[in-house]
Amino acid sequence: MRTLVAGTTRIRNRLQLDPVLNDLPWKPTLVLSAGLIGVARQAECWAAEHRLPFKRFELEKSITNRSQSLPRLYAQMLDEAEAVVLLWSGGDEIGLQWLADEASKRGLPLVNSVQKISLRLRGT
């Protein structure tokens, strides 16, 4: 399944993401990413490690306000997605609550992993 993976930009390692992706109830065939630091970039690394292709979407350069550009980007990604994975703290990360709500409205399989985000680096 074409799987959109998004989440917080505050993590820089895969300690919390890998267990979520490894235990999905479906098999990803393509990872859709916003290419931002954090979860999206780590999902690209996970895809490469598992020999899966990924597609990186780009923010509109003409819109400098992320609170306006991210929902547009996520809408484009949802149009191609067959499933959605979110990893975030449930706080005020831009667009993630909207993304969860919209995925549910569209009837897409959703893993909405809300957890305390660890900033620890691997091995520390």
Mean pLDDT, consecutive 10-residue segments, the chain of 124 residues? 91 84 96 90 95 91 65 91 90 80 94 68 43
For residues 8 and 114, the answer to whether their CB atoms sit within 8 Å is: no
DSSP characters over 39-97 = HHHHHHHHHHHTT--EEE----TT---HHHHHHHHHHHHHHH-SEEEEEE-SS--TTHH
Closest CA to 31 of 57, 9, 5: 5
Task: Please state which architecture CATH assigns to domain 2-114.
Answer: 3-Layer(aba) Sandwich (3.40)
For the chain, the first-to-last Cα distance in angstroms comes to 34
Tell me how crowded residue 27 is: count the other CB atoms within 10 A of its CB: 9
pLDDT at 42: 93
Entry pTM: 0.86
Question: Could you tell me whether strands 54-56 and 83-88 are parallel, antiparallel, or unpaired per DSSP bridges?
Answer: unpaired
pLDDT at 1: 96
